[in-house]
Amino acid sequence: MPQSDGRSALELPDATPVLHTLRVTRGTKNTPFFLEHLRTSGSQAQLAYRITADTARPLQPVRN
């Protein structure tokens, strides 16, 4: 749940869930290139991503 300042910035009522999404796009040398940061009402949001690879790459584990 958002803090009171986040609720007022998003114009949300109390106890409304917030969808907080971060997406990092990486460049050709696998370095971070672009960061997208999205916060919106969880009750009004739907996300869908279609990702098409140009070439096959081996999968690597996600690191924390």
Measured in whole angstroms, the distance separating CA 45 from the mean position of its chain's CA atoms is 12
For 35-52, the pLDDT digits (tens) are 998 888 878 888 787 878
For 1-16, the pLDDT digits (tens) are 556 666 677 777 777 7
4: left (phi over 0), alpha (psi -120 to 50) or beta: alpha
Strands (E), the chain: 18-26, 32-41
pTM (2 d.p.): 0.50
Cα 26 from Cα 10, distance rounded (Å): 29
